[in-house]
Structure 1
Amino acid sequence: MDKNGKIIVKAEYLNVGDFSEGLCYVSKEVIKKGYKWIFIDTLGNKVFDIKDNFPETEFSEGFARISSFEEQWFVNRNGVNEFGKTWKDGHGEFKNGIAYVSDKEFSDFYPINTKGERIGTKTFSRVEIYNSRKKDSMGTKDKSEYKSDNYVPFQENELWGFKDSLDNVVIKPKFYKVDKFKNGVCGVRVNKRDFETANDYFLDAIINESGEILNEIEMHCYLGFQGELIEFYGAPHFGGGVHYLNKKGEKIKPTE
């Protein structure tokens, strides 16, 4: 569905990934290897089939990495093995024109370009790749429009509030539990509970960057933002159905 709750692709799949670059992998069938995957477009039309293989990544910079569990390769938006070659292993997706592959499992990864050509002779571990990409991401991260991205929760007595990056109090402690700010809003608990239910991350309100309550609503098994919408359940233990709120704290109901 879109962020207003309008259903774009009907609920007919056993499992789905996330949309990226206009494509998403989905499955309607279970096979011996797990799920049988296809890629669809944003209207739900089948674009291509990857047969009995597994999607290791979503699309990034025009490519998705596919695995047969014995070898891996990159397909283009038509599902074709773009480079006409395979590797034993891979790590991550294409980013800034580079992806990492290996001729052995779990180690000795090396970078390739968008022609499938190896770059240099040096090899890397998964940890080295992760740290390198994390550093690059921090260096190129766009400045957020939300000042609350830098808010840090703090506790005074039994209540929680938020400080900014300079240690100034921006929201006084008045909540019994807080999540983290995202998209300018945050899930909190305003009412004290005498006991906690096992495996139930329970919050009961959404606040804005000023600490004002946008909506006071019971949210069980709170998952935070999943794309454009906040997702939670209506009862403990993932019961009571799935519910959604937008960035204004307004309830969104899926509609045809």
Structure 2
Amino acid sequence: MILASYLFYGQGNGLYKFQSENGKYGFMDENGKIKIKAEYLRVGDFGDGLCYVSKEVIKKGYKWIFIDTLGKKVFDIQDNFPQTGFNEGFAQISSFEEHWFVNKKGINEFGKTWKDGYGGFNNGIAFVSDVKFSDFYPINKKGERIDPKTVSRIEIYNSRKNDNSDIKDEIELRSNKLIAFQENDLWGFKDDLNNIVIEPKFYLVDKFQNGVCAVRINKQEFEFANDYFLDAIIDEKGVILNEIEMHCYLGFQGQLIEFYGAPHFGGGVHYLNKHGQLVTPIE
């Protein structure tokens, strides 16, 4: 049975979250096979084999628990809020007054709390603060402060964005065989010897990944602000695999391509596989 669904990205441990026609969330694999039934009001993303989910509304908002990739409850966090999912063995939890880090058993790993925190662990470092909203400093995986200097949220965001961009660029460099070029306002692709492989005939192109690339084949008379719109997937020979409107295109997220159904991240998130085919949740 195929479920009428809106899809929302949540790739982690090979699982992608989706919203079924009953309005609740579940998880599927990259082929659309439902692995965890849609029975949750809210869900996070899987990391380190765990994900926070909620079936119940409480005074503070939602009652959160962590589940494993089989949908089994691992631990709950009482009336607290999951500030992050798991990464590098830890998740940040908040009571809105205090922040701390739990291990995969739900235990406060460092036996201490902070007034604020920004994100989870990344490359062995997390950022916390003894005051709200400012003066963040790094800690290691023992919960120890490792630098006397403090930084702002924006500084943390920019530094981590640059780190992630470096990683992404390396991945794309390894996977890209073709290089985009523009001629007479149209885009095509050359190989690394500067030979034209795909003649310039597209109004906009993304980068090749996993042997496919999103492009724009129809000229747009009107552009929505902040809407990265593409309308087809091609292979490395320039053959159109699928002509489909893709708003706010985000490229591969794990094994699937992610995009939205409308401008400004509206219309629900949808997925395509490496062949440019829509992936829909199935029992």
| TM norm structure 1 | 0.79
1:124 pairs with 2:151? yes
Quick one: distance in 1 between partners of 2:41 and 2:101? 25
Contact 1:71 1:87 in 2 (8 A): yes
Question: What residue number does 1:146 align with?
Answer: 175
Q: Equivalents in 2 of 1:100, 1:74: separation in Å?
A: 11
Aligned pairs for 1:38-53 within 5 A: 38-53=65-80
Question: Tell me, what secondary structure is at the counterpart of 2:78?
Answer: coil
In the TM superposition, what are the counterparts of 1:1-256 in structure 2 within 5 Å? 1-134=28-161, 136=163, 143-144=170-171, 145-147=174-176, 151=179, 155-162=182-189, 171-192=198-219, 203-208=230-235, 210-221=236-247, 223=249, 224-232=251-259, 243-256=270-283
Change (3 A) 1:157 1:198: same
- Larger CA deviation: 139-148 vs 22-31: 139-148
The separation in 2 between residues aligned to 1:123 and 1:199, in whole angstroms, is 33
Provide structure 2 residue ranges, at least 5 long, that are not aligned to the other structure: 1-27
Secondary structure of the equivalent of 1:11?
strand
Aligned amino acid, residue 35 of structure 1: Y
Question: Hey, what's the Cα distance between the residues in 2 that align with 1:139 and 1:227?
Answer: 17
Instruction: Name the CA distance, whole Å, in 1 between partners of 2:166 and 2:266.
Output: 38
TM-score, structure 2 as length reference: 0.73
CA distance in 2 between counterparts of 1:221 and 1:103 reads 41
The one-letter amino acid paired with 2:114 is W
Alignment check: 8 A CA contact 2:128 2:136 kept: yes
Unaligned runs of 5+ in 1: none
Judged with a 3 Å threshold, the aligned counterparts in structure 2 of structure 1 residues 167 and 132 are, in CA distance, closer, same or farther, namely farther
The CA deviation at 1:203 is: 3.6
Identity of aligned residues (%): 69
Change over 3 Å in CA distance of 1:211–1:62 after alignment to 2: same
